[in-house]
Amino acid sequence: MKTAVVRFPGSNCDEDLFYALADLNLNPVFVSAQEESDLSDYAAIFLPGGFSYGDYLRTGAIARFSPIMDAVRHAADAGQLVVGICNGFQILTESGLLPGQLMQNATPGFICDEVMVNITNPNSAFTRAYTSTSVKLPIAHADGRYYADAATLQELVEHQQIILTYQDNVNGSVEQIAGITNVAGNVIGLMPHPERAMEALIGNVDGRGFFESIQASLPA
């Protein structure tokens, strides 16, 4: 079993994500967004945080045209797990793999902090290992305000696609949304960074449950 960490020009959380996956023996492999076109051999695909293509035009808007995104779509359609963290979440919405849009924070500016997050769907492939209904996770974004229209929000609620919400609405996201999945439940986008909360040495291990959930959801 292998997992793919996609490297876009400007990705800067790729190594954090790589080591989080390696720590749980999920065998990560760095994959170039410009050179790879087939992800069928990977059990899960991860789009890391950062500033893909310098966030020019709009966050994630250029990355959506990267050659690898066709392969990401095929993987999602095939039921493989696809994870977008921070900029990865933005890329997934820009690509139409997740509904809604990530916009500038309600109070313009970059937020870098640790915040309390509610696990609103504990039965997902990304949360089932958690024993608590709330966790503390790092955030680092300027364009993390999730927006969707009323009809989309109703669908998210009806299909239990809202996975994480902020306890305090740090960026103005509608319904305090911090992470959602697609209807099938195999594609997730989240603004918090669980890969930055993996080690007791740095004072926070609340991200481990996210990756342990993924580990438990993958075929043996």
Amino acid occupying residue 154 = Q
Helix axes 14-23, 208-217, angle to 10 degrees: 60
Amino acid occupying residue 36 = E
Closest C-alpha to 50, from 80, 81, 14, 24: 14
* Non-local CB neighbours of 154 within 8 Å, separated by 6+ positions: none
Active site (annotated) includes residue 141: no
Active site (annotated) includes residue 159: no
Active site (annotated) includes residue 74: no
Q: Is 57 exposed, middle or buried (0-12, 13-18, 19+ CB in 10 A)?
A: exposed
Q: Any alpha helices (H) in 62-206, and if so which ranges?
A: 68-77, 87-94, 150-158
Structure tokens, 169: 């609405």
Of 36, 94, 141, 195, which one is the catalytic site residue?
195
Of 13, 36, 94, 193, which one is the catalytic site residue?
193
Q: How far from 29 is each of 7, 55, 103, 168, 198, CA to CA, in Å?
A: 10, 24, 30, 35, 19
Of 13, 36, 86, 94, which one is the catalytic site residue?
86
Q: Which residues are catalytic?
A: 86, 193, 195
